[in-house]
Amino acid sequence: MRVPLFLRDHQAGFQVLLHAPAHTAQRRAKYLHVPGRQMAKCVLLSAPAGFVVAVLPATHRLDMEVLGRNLGGAVRLADENEIAPLFGDCQWGGLVPFGALYGLTTIVDEAFDPQGSLVFPAQRDFQAIRMRYADFARLEQPRRFRFASPTGASPARAISAQASTDVRCDRRLSRE
């Protein structure tokens, strides 16, 4: 498992959390009794300069217009056939917030509390990792800006990354 080894090698404090299998960030947050604003949802985007890992709270959805302006043009969600070859050590369709480990740029939404904790999927649908956001930012050095809005806000240009994840998981489950 690449991420726990990376965190140990860089002496970052973290905790591996086991839970019932969860295919969405909201469900993982529920199983772990973690506020959705601390649970990271990781989404792979296809941007003009290549693939980008976007990290946003489980309670938020992507604003594709803002992403396009900040990433240099039209942006779309990658599909599982694009994710799998890049994240070969992760469960099919899954990814982690450490894009640099895979040669990718990572962006993170400003909604995360820089003084708080971050919980994210740990390469399998039954594991998560909890660590300080400050340690994540120090190791990954993501580009931080506002590119997501709370699920309750509904701008027409926003796309629910959760809906994309649900579709991806439904396809994966139908293959099993």
Total residue count of the chain as it appears in this document: 176
3-state helix, strand, coil in the chain (%, to 5): 35, 30, 40
Report the percent of the chain where pLDDT is more than 70. 85
For residue 50, being part of any structural domain is answered with yes
Q: Which two tokens stand for residue 24?
A: 């969405």
pLDDT band at 64 (very low <50, low <70, confident <90, very high): very high
Total count of domains within the chain: 1
Range of the domain at 162: 2-147+158-171
Q: How confident is residue 92, by pLDDT bands cut at 50, 70 and 90? A: confident
Does residue 160 register a pLDDT over 80? no
Domain of 120, CATH number, reads 3.90.960.10
Question: Is 153 domain-assigned?
Answer: no
Judge whether 74 lies within some domain. yes
